[in-house]
């Protein structure tokens, strides 16, 4: 146990989205990721999507505030994710997390982002470090 | 810049955590905008020098880059307004067809801040259309 965190602890779920075309355009503008696949409905439909897919990074980045809201005293030292399935414009996303490892120096959290599909959109992980103990 | 058949080394690029852009990025991804987002370096990976190489590669091979995975590992926190040096290594894999972007962020005094890995799957346009 570390900082009162227990193995298997579930983080409070967070729902983000649905994201409209303006939201995707704003993310493209600020991130510089102007890949037309995310912005051009005609292009997205030409390769079989009913709507443009949301930038995966927009969703992965949303895990940071989720983790901070859960335990603001912890420092996030690593965040990663595998993009398994696209989230399409207009779909909501459920972010979940579960503590899989706890030590005196590190907390490992498994992360999932789920859209309406059965498979997760993102399988991710975060490593956090507990606050440094003050010297006695 | 160093180049061989499958690797291309770029940089260092001197880049800044622009406070206004960092706040906007944070707000667009659910954050409060009070600190630099962990994922903020994603905006640096869209620098024109790097982006043009990726776009040229995709155009020449008629492929669509699909973001397969992304990771950020930090040893120091990014600070709003601070400048950093970004070193990039592009790796091209053919089986499966991928472009791997390995980036290292250092302070201007050469201290390691973070390492980032971006993996783009390069999917032929026709296959993408058939799968979707």
Check the CA dihedral B16-B18-B24-B27 and report its sign.
positive
pLDDT at A136: 39
Q: Measured between CB atoms, does B128 come within 8 Å of chain A?
A: yes
> Is the residue at A112 inside a domain?
yes
User: Min CA distance, A136 vs chain B (Å)?
Assistant: 25
- B114-126 confidence digits (pLDDT tens): 999 999 999 887 7
Cis peptide before A18 (omega within 30 of 0): yes
For A48, which of B71, B72, B132 is closest by C-beta distance? B132
> Is the residue at A95 inside a domain?
yes
pLDDT above 90: residue B99: yes
Higher pLDDT among residues B4 and B126, named by residue: B126
> Is the residue at A116 inside a domain?
yes
> Look-up: residue for tokens 């965190």?
A5
pLDDT above 80: residue B106: yes
- A3-52 confidence digits (pLDDT tens): 789 999 999 999 999 999 999 999 999 999 988 889 999 988 988 899 99
- A57-104 confidence digits (pLDDT tens): 999 999 999 999 999 999 999 999 999 999 999 999 999 999 999 999
Tally of structural domains, chain B: 1
What rounded mean pLDDT belongs to chain B?
A: 90
pLDDT at A38: 94
- B16-53 confidence digits (pLDDT tens): 999 999 999 999 999 999 999 999 999 998 888 888 88
Cis peptide before B10 (omega within 30 of 0): no
pLDDT above 60: residue A133: no
- State how far the Cα of A112 lies from the Cα of A96, in Å rounded to an integer: 5
Contacts of B21 in chain A (CB under 8 A): 30
Percent of chain B topping pLDDT 90:
67
Q: Measured between CB atoms, does B25 come within 8 Å of chain A?
A: yes
- State how far the Cα of B118 lies from the Cα of B65, in Å rounded to an integer: 11
Using CA coordinates, name the residue in chain B closest to A43: B129
Cis peptide before A68 (omega within 30 of 0): no
pLDDT above 70: residue B3: no
Where does the pLDDT of residue A122 fall: very low under 50, low under 70, confident under 90, or very high at 90 and above? very high
- State how far the Cα of A124 lies from the Cα of A65, in Å rounded to an integer: 15
> Is the residue at A105 inside a domain?
yes
> Is the residue at A36 inside a domain?
no
> Is the residue at A65 inside a domain?
yes
Identify the CATH number of the domain in which residue A125 sits.
3.10.129.10
Tally of structural domains, chain A: 1
Higher pLDDT among residues B111 and B4, named by residue: B111
CB count within 10 Å of CB A64 equals 22
Contacts of B72 in chain A (CB under 8 A): 78-80
Domain range for B100 is 2-131
Tell whether ipTM is more than 0.85. Answer: yes
> Is the residue at A77 inside a domain?
yes
Identify the CATH number of the domain in which residue B26 sits.
3.10.129.10
């Amino acid at each position: 146990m570390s900082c009162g965190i227990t193995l298997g602890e579930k983080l409070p779920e967070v729902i983000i989205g649905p994201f409209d075309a303006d939201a995707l355009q704003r993310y493209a503008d600020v991130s510089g990721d102007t890949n037309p696949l995310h912005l051009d409905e005609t292009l997205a439909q030409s390769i079989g999507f009913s709507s443009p897919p949301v930038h995966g990074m927009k969703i992965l980045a949303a895990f940071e505030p989720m983790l901070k809201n859960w335990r603001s005293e912890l420092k996030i030292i690593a965040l990663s994710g595998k993009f398994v399935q696209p989230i399409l414009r207009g779909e909501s996303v459920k972010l979940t997390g579960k503590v899989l490892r706890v030590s005196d120096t590190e907390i490992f959290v498994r992360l999932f982002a789920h859209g309406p599909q059965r498979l997760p959109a993102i399988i991710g992980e975060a490593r956090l470090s507990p606050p440094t103990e003050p010297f006695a | 810049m160093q180049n061989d058949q499958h690797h291309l080394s770029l940089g260092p690029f001197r880049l800044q955590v622009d406070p206004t852009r960092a706040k906007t990025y944070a707000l667009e991804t659910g954050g409060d905008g009070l600190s630099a987002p962990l994922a903020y370096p994603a905006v640096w990976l869209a620098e024109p020098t790097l982006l043009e190489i990726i776009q040229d590669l995709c155009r020449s091979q008629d492929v669509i880059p699909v973001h397969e995975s992304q990771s950020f590992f930090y040893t120091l926190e990014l600070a709003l307004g601070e400048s950093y040096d970004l070193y990039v290594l592009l790796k091209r894999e053919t089986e499966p067809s991928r472009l791997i972007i390995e980036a290292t962020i250092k302070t201007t005094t050469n201290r390691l801040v973070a390492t980032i890995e971006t993996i783009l799957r390069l999917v032929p346009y026709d296959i993408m259309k058939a799968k979707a």
